[in-house]
Amino acid sequence: MTAVSKTDMPPGDAGSGRSPQPLPGPPKSSADLRPRLIAGAVMAAVALGLDYAGLIPFAALVLLVALLMCWEWGRVIRGENFGAAFVIHSASVGAAVVLAGIGHVILAFVAALIGVVLMLAMPFGPRRLMSAAGIFYVGLPAIAMLWFRGDEPYGFMAVLFIFAVVWSSDIAAFAAGRTFGGPKLWPSVSPNKTWSGFAGGVSATAIVGAVFAYFIPEASVAGLVATSVGLGLVAQLGDLAESALKRGFGVKDSSTIIPGHGGVMDRADSTVTVSVVAALLALTINIAAPARALLLGQ
């Protein structure tokens, strides 16, 4: 999930003119696997538990994750922890999450859009455009996830489906890449990713679609498998996109707050793209019932 670039700067050094320090060459050792697995299991359990608990508990989780991503975006893009840009970013995204959590999805989008306009109007230097883009990067997936969760009776299953696609793609890509190796997928952006991992990740999402179709009798097996495979491709592309972003700014991890994983952005990269694309798909099918549209195609 994490790009390995030729150079890495501590967050406070990004854009400061200091000489970047070289990244360690060797990959992470197997000793890093245990905390990575434990942290991953805990995060999955919390996400699934709050998704099951309902829209408001799940919205509280989305708000926490979104605010952490706002902070990490500033570290990556501007090389700062806090500041005026962070206030605008976090306030607009926070307002969007709260509005989406109480069912006002359109107003949530308006709140994010206002934040973008404010960010562009402020004198934040040459990275102002990227700072503004961060509001949509964090805000749109947060709104999308809450939009899906609020659509009963399929809200819980729709969010679970998105998580399952992302997690299966990630785990299978890692396992296939480690097992089979082979040609690199995009070595200039993410040297550890392989074509075998890419194929393994996308293939696993087909199984996810078939399994969900079994538990949702109204769903079409072919339709849900096609949807999950398409979103699996999007998950892989989202992973690569965030790797390219961090590499472009000379950053290895968005932060170090998750043991063995890096930052929240490093974990949520595929979820960002998958949730937004899933929401766009639902918009074209049934704007009044997004979860039903995603799972049943109607």
Residue 64: what residue type?
A: L
- Summarised one tens digit per residue, pLDDT across range 64-80 is 999 999 999 998 888 88
Strand spans (E) along 82-235: 184-186, 190-194
The Cα–Cα gap between 155 and 147 comes to 8
The Cα–Cα gap between 127 and 77 comes to 7
Q: Of all residues in the chain, what percent carry a pLDDT higher than 70?
A: 88
User: What is the pLDDT at residue 190?
Assistant: 79
Contact 247, 266 (CB under 8 A): no
pLDDT reading at 38 higher than 50: yes
Backbone phi and psi for residue 297, each to the nearest 5 degrees, phi listed first:
70, 30
User: What is the pLDDT at residue 5?
Assistant: 36
Going by C-beta distance under 8 Å and a sequence separation of 6 or more, which residues neighbour residue 168? 201, 204, 205, 207, 208, 232
Domain residue ranges in the chain: 54-150, 153-298
Contact 224, 209 (CB under 8 A): yes
User: What is the pLDDT at residue 2?
Assistant: 36
User: What is the pLDDT at residue 32?
Assistant: 57
Q: Are strands 190-194 and 184-186 parallel, antiparallel or unpaired?
A: antiparallel
